[in-house]
């Protein structure tokens, strides 16, 4: 598989960190140009700190972290401490990071890193509200046609929402940004709740992770165990979805996923369904597809890949 250059845009809770650490553990397949942070699960200072904590734990501090947008394009920030804890990384004490943030505003860095490379070289891996990506697209109108792909963890179809009955969190936090990204014309793959809710951190999977016996796997055993208490309590599941790592798993092993090309839009005008991803699965509207929408995943294969990559660190 040809090596991909990737930029990972994230609002780190443990799920996000699993994703970018998987990417850093896969240097034959992925060249991580930068990690860019945005407000989402917790405010920007914490997402930027959590990214650096995870990198220091994994001894991958050569990868720069750039801070981006502290709020959505037009709305007040909504966060999810009720899921992830006060810091976004509750459940295991990691030291305060020593590595500094890299200098530069994340949307501008995304443009610079992508546009200085050949067309079709850079993939954006989006694990968070899409504010940074929308700002980058606005700054450089040629960016969309220059990218290889945008891969998004976000949205929902038949599964319903996880922040409102209709909307998934990443899309709901900044629906205007999501609408701008989905309409940009770049090749887009979307991994929605329909897919991620099939991939639960069951006890046997977390035990297998812990049995690897490294500082990284021990930390993430505890972080994920704490992080999924909310889902276990709310939904009655055994474990919770490991959402964001699906983006990196798709790049490494696309055969684990299945879906199809459809048209997806974002609802902006209704208070009741704000942030809903309207998925035209049957092409009722006859609009050209703008998204590869992945609805299923081989969960056992997915967790085997996650654990194998984290164990390398």
| Residues identified as active-site | 243
Three-state SS at 269: coil
Collect all residues with Cβ–Cβ distance below 8 Å to 249 and sequence separation of at least 6.
22, 256, 257, 297, 302, 305, 306
Q: Where are the strands (E) in the chain, listed by range?
A: 4-10, 30-37, 65-67, 122-126, 149-153, 188-191, 257-266, 277-280, 291-297
The per-residue DSSP string of 184-219 comes to S-S-EEEE-HHHHTT-B--HHHHHHHHTT--HHHHH
Kindly report the number of other CB atoms within 10 A of residue 176's CB atom. 17
CA distance 64 to 273: 37
Task: Considering only CA atoms, give the Rg of the chain.
Answer: 18
* Contact by Cβ (8 Å): 46, 77: no
3-state helix, strand, coil in the chain (%, to 5): 40, 20, 45
Token pair of 289 as six digits: 């597809």
Q: Give just the sign of the alpha carbon dihedral 230, 234, 239, 242.
A: negative
220, 209 contact by CB (below 8 A): yes
Q: Phi, psi (5° rounding) for residue 145?
A: -80, -15
Would you tell me how many other CB atoms lie within 10 Å of the CB of residue 202? 16
């Amino acid at each position: 598989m040809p090596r991909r250059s990737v930029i990972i845009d994230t609002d780190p809770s443990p799920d996000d960190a699993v994703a970018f650490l998987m990417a850093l553990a896969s240097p034959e397949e992925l060249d991580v140009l930068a990690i860019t942070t945005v407000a989402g699960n917790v405010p920007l200072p914490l997402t930027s700190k959590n990214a650096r904590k995870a990198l220091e734990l994994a001894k991958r501090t050569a990868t720069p972290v750039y801070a981006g947008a502290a709020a959505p394009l037009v709305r007040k920030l909504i966060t999810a401490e009720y899921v992830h804890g006060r810091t976004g990384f509750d459940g295991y004490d990691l030291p305060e990071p020593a590595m500094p943030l890299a200098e530069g505003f994340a949307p501008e860095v995304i443009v610079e890193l992508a546009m200085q490379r050949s067309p079709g070289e850079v993939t954006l891996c989006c694990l968070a509200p899409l504010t940074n990506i929308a700002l980058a697209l606005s700054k450089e109108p040629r960016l969309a046609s220059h990218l290889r792909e945008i891969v998004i963890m976000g949205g929902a179809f038949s599964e319903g929402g996880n922040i409102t009955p209709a909307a998934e969190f990443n899309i709901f936090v900044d629906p205007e940004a999501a609408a701008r990204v989905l309409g940009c014309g770049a090749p887009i793959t979307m991994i929605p709740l329909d897919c991620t809710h099939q991939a639960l951190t069951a006890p046997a999977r977390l035990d297998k992770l812990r049995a690897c016996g490294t500082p990284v796997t021990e930390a993430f055993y505890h972080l994920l165990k704490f992080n999924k208490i909310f889902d276990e309590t709310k939904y009655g599941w055994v474990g919770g979805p490991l959402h964001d790592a699906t983006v990196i798993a798709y790049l490494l092993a696309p055969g684990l996923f299945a879906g199809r090309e459809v048209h997806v839009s974002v609802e902006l005008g209704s208070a009741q369904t704000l942030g809903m991803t309207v998925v035209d699965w049957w092409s009722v509207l006859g609009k050209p597809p703008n998204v590869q929408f992945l609805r299923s995943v081989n969960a056992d294969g997915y967790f085997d890949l996650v654990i194998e990559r984290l164990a390398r660190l």
